[in-house]
Amino acid sequence: MENNINSQSQNSIDQKKLQNFMEVVLSDLGGAYSAVLVYIGDKLGLYKAMKDAGRPITSQELADVTRTSERNIREWLANQAAGGYVMYDVETQRYWLPAENALVLADENSLVYSVGAFQATMSYFKDASKIMEAFRTGRGLSWGEHDPDLFLGTERFFKPGYKANLVSSWIPSLDNGRVEEKLKNETAVVADIGCGHGISTINLLV
């Protein structure tokens, strides 16, 4: 009886839908694995080292300048090249970080600098047991209970936008410029409460 039920279930499966969903799953898994390696590349200074090199380099050269293991750097570079994060020349066996990619991965002053988002994402994996407990109990999880990578990553991810827009366009657009006027005349009181590392307030003061 059980075999007949399993056979009927298999026969009712739409193979095209199954294939499409497996493609979604594998894509998500690939992204999750690569996200960890982006985090590692940031923490070890690999992207910045490639940017500073200013030319294509070998895995050994990158390992030397970052004081890391060439064997592991070689595998990291292979993953990054496969994902399009870095470029690879088969003939010379050298890798380089395109200028456009460097804006996203290695330039902290760039408006599109995004490695902070990967750092924040890593905190969710680290907090998985706490989050599961919150699901079980309904107690919730306070901001302060999260892994520090969430705070640091959030700051790094939003900082470029704050620097580029907060003073120049966001504040002036509030209440037809009245908020900006009060800030300039020092007649406003500003409270930064529970907003992370206060990068927005710091930008107002600089």
Q: Where are the alpha helices (DSSP H) in 44-114?
A: 46-53, 59-66, 70-83, 99-105
In angstroms, the Cα distances linking 98 to 129, 154, 174 are 38, 25, 38
Candidates 33, 110, 13; CA nearest to 78 is 33
Average pLDDT, the chain: 90
Q: Considering the domain boundaries, does residue 5 fall inside one? A: no
Q: Is 176 exposed, middle or buried (0-12, 13-18, 19+ CB in 10 A)?
A: exposed
Q: Considering the domain boundaries, does residue 92 fall inside one? A: yes
Give the pLDDT score at 7. 54
Residue 122's DSSP bridge partners are none
Residue 22 domain boundaries: 14-107
Would you give the end-to-end CA distance of the chain in angstroms? 75
CB 127 within 8 A of CB 143: no
Torsion angle in degrees (nearest 10) through CA of 82, 98, 111, 150? 40
CB atoms near residue 122 (< 10 Å): 21
pLDDT in tens, 168-204: 899 899 988 888 888 888 777 777 776 678 888 887 7
* Mean pLDDT of the region 2-20: 74
Residue linked to tokens 């799953």: 25
pLDDT in tens, 131-172: 999 999 999 888 889 999 999 999 999 999 888 888 889 989
Candidates 196, 62, 66; CA nearest to 123 is 196
**Alpha-carbon span 97 to 50, nearest angstrom:** 6
How much is the pTM? Answer: 0.81
Q: What is the CATH number of the domain that holds 63?
A: 1.10.10.10
Residue linked to tokens 């907090």: 127
Q: Considering the domain boundaries, does residue 37 fall inside one? A: yes
Q: Is the pLDDT of residue 78 over 70?
A: yes
Residues in the chain: 206
Q: Considering the domain boundaries, does residue 139 fall inside one? A: no
Residue 57's DSSP bridge partners are 95
b/e for 83-119, b at 16 or more Cβ within 10 A? eebbeeeeeeebbbbeeebbbbbbbeeeeebebbbbb
Report the domain count for the chain. 1
**Alpha-carbon span 191 to 113, nearest angstrom:** 27
Q: Considering the domain boundaries, does residue 70 fall inside one? A: yes
Q: Considering the domain boundaries, does residue 155 fall inside one? A: no
Give the pLDDT score at 35. 92
Q: Considering the domain boundaries, does residue 167 fall inside one? A: no
pLDDT in tens, 84-142: 999 999 999 999 999 999 999 999 989 999 999 999 999 999 999 999 999 999 998 88
Consecutive H or E run containing 88: strand 87-89
Q: Considering the domain boundaries, does residue 148 fall inside one? A: no
